[in-house]
Amino acid sequence: MATLEPGSKAPVFTLMNQDGEKVRLADFKGKKLLLFFYPKANTPGCTKQACSVSNSLKSLKRLDVAAVGISPDLPDKQMKFDLKHKLGFPLLSDADNKVARAYGAWGEKSMYGKKYEGIIRSSFLIDEKAKIIQAWYKVKPDDTVPLVLESLS
């Protein structure tokens, strides 16, 4: 699994959000971006992570940081996730995992001794010029926002 390092150029993307609209990395030019990958909408860890980001949107906005979540879920499932938890930020569908692979957020995982490929919960802080400020792989759901805030303090 190739990983991104601070100073790397963030891989570009264009993905559909929960409203069926295209969202591009370029849409966030001039702002910092918290981009996080999660395995599956409405699962306990992913809900905890997304709600933590949602609850921190005001703090992130004060630091001029936008937030975007990406998973393999289709836009309609992302919409249900957003509505159920009132998340209030873009959730993008990466059904073919191309963007996850580009960010190094796709790879081998293990559950109950069985190996398989899937999303590696990862978070990225991207600067105003689309460069990686920080990359966190195998991040815990509760740590996503604190790591970003600590990185910016």
- Computed over every residue of the chain, the mean pLDDT equals 95
Domain boundaries, the chain: 14-144
pLDDT of residue 144: 96
Determine the pLDDT at residue 3: 87
Residue 25 has a pLDDT of 98
Least confident of 2-11, 70-79, 91-100: 2-11
Percent of the chain with pLDDT over 90: 91
Q: Which positions are annotated as active-site residues?
A: 46
Q: What is the pTM of this model?
A: 0.94
Question: Does the structure show a pLDDT above 70 at 21?
Answer: yes
Which pLDDT belongs to residue 1? Answer: 57
Q: Domain 14-144 adopts which CATH fold?
A: Glutaredoxin (3.40.30)
Q: Can you give the chain as a three-state secondary structure string? A: CCCCCCCCECCCCEEEECCCCEEEHHHHCCCEEEEEECCCCCCHHHHHHHHHHHHCHHHHHHCCEEEEEEECCCHHHHHHHHHHHCCCCCEEECCCCHHHHHCCCEEEEEECCEEEEEECCEEEEECCCCEEEEEEECCCHHHHHHHHHHHHC
- The pLDDT tens digits for 84-138 are 999 999 999 999 999 999 999 999 887 788 888 899 999 999 999 999 999 999 9
